[in-house]
Amino acid sequence: MGAAESIKTNYLNALKEAIDEEMYSDQEMICLGEDIGNLGGAFGVTEGLLDKYGSDRVQDMPIAEECIVGAAVGAALTGRRVMAEMQFIDFISCGFDQIVNNLATFHYRTAGEVAMPVVIRGPAGGYGGGALYHSQMNEGWFCHSPGLKVVCPSTPYDAKGLLKSALRDPNPVIFYEIKELYRKKSLEEFIPVEDYIIPLGKASIRREGEDLTLVTYGQNVYHCLEVADKLEQEGYSVEVIDIRTLVPLDEQTINNSIKKTSRVVTVNEAPRTCGFAGEMLARVCENAFEYLDAPPARCTRLDTPVPWVKPLESFVLPTVDKIFNVCIRTLKY
């Protein structure tokens, strides 16, 4: 792709471009959140939007997530498309009632008459020393709530394409952004200048392999790719699948990979109990058990809050070494 057709950008700017382009194409779309106007968001994702679209469409809200989501639900009921930002995804819990009891259910309880075109997005994840209040991956809560779609991109290209797709969806979407990837220089890539979307519910095979399937999303994609490199030195060929969308989940891509490799390890940085890594393994056992030559395995965060001190943070979260060890046990079973 030539220079005139693409531009090199990072994860954060890709998200900003997605919101800007969708606001430009839909003059009724609004943005709600804490400090998203004058400050441009805590990380700068909404920087410049207030000047471009005005305070009627880019609205700074009180530090009250339930109020933010409730206002988003009300705006959607009047036909507006809404992007609601959580300053940190950890505090989405403060808006939990509005999300799971109102936002997620309106389409169902109106027999399909009412759409809820709302995207709730925000920075998530650990590995940055954010400690217990700024390191959470709580996506399991919303995967468990019928009516919600859940997305977590790992690349700038996917971040833009998936966010644009989410913003155009008539259903509510919870959109997890990995803050440690926002400005990571090594992840910058060329993305098209022209409009594009990535359909929700379609996984991406980041690396093809024959001996084992690694299934993951978000920041753990890069840990798994590094593990695949290390295992290649041991003589193993590993396939890495980035699911990108948790709900709906692309089970076909996962199952097709397992038919080829006969072994699977899932990885997520959320806690082990009721985490999405376990959900993926359950579905593998239901639909692809006959193709397995080893017990399916997972590598997750421990069932504990994320500590601040770096050695303790690494002890709690999945790391390259931990994933590698789980893969070796599975390969040698």
- Distance of alpha carbon 165 from alpha carbon 21, whole angstroms: 12
* Domain-embedded: residue 130: yes
Q: What are phi and psi of 311, to 5 degrees?
A: -60, -35
Token pair 């639900």 in the structure block, residue = 73
CA dist 107 and 171 (Å) reads 8
- Side-chain half-sphere exposure of 46, counting CA atoms within 13 A: 32
pLDDT tens-digit map of 35-86: 999 999 999 999 999 999 999 999 999 999 999 999 999 999 999 999 999 9
| Number of separate domains in the chain | 2
pLDDT single digits (tens) 14-29: 999 999 999 999 999 9
Q: What is residue 76's three-state secondary structure?
A: helix
Mean pLDDT throughout 301-330?
97
Question: pLDDT value at position 2?
Answer: 47
Q: Are residues 15 and 65 in the same domain?
A: yes
Same domain? 86 vs 227: no
The beta-strand segments (E) located in the chain are 6-9, 30-33, 58-60, 82-85, 118-124, 149-151, 173-178, 189-192, 204-207, 212-216, 238-242, 245-247, 264-271, 297-301
The pLDDT tens digits of the residues spanning 106-159 come to 999 999 999 999 999 999 999 999 999 999 999 999 999 999 999 999 999 999
Number of H helices and number of E strands within the chain?
Answer: 12, 14
Buried-exposed string 52-64: b where 16+ CB fall within 10 A, e elsewhere: ebeeebbbebeee
Based on the domain organization, do 172 and 39 belong to the same domain?
A: yes
Same domain for 244 and 117, yes or no, is no
> Of 96, 144, 98, nearest to 273 (Cα)?
144
**The tokens of 315 are what?**
């002890």
Catalytic positions are 134
Domain termination site, one of 161, 192, 223? 192
Same domain for 224 and 185:
no
Q: Which regions of 52-197 does DSSP assign to beta strands (E)? A: 58-60, 82-85, 118-124, 149-151, 173-178, 189-192
pTM for the structure as a whole: 0.97
Say if CB 258 and CB 164 are below 8 A apart: no
Q: Residue holding tokens 């690494």?
A: 314
Domain that holds residue 310: 204-331
Same domain, 135 and 16: yes
Tell me, yes or no, whether 147 and 230 share the same domain.
no
Query: Are residues 137 and 216 part of one domain?
Result: no
**Tell me, what's the pLDDT at 4?**
56
CA distances from 287 to 53, 88, 249, 256, 290 (A): 48, 36, 13, 11, 8
Closest by CA to 214, choosing from 318, 119, 144, is 318
Last-in-domain residue among 143, 167, 192:
192
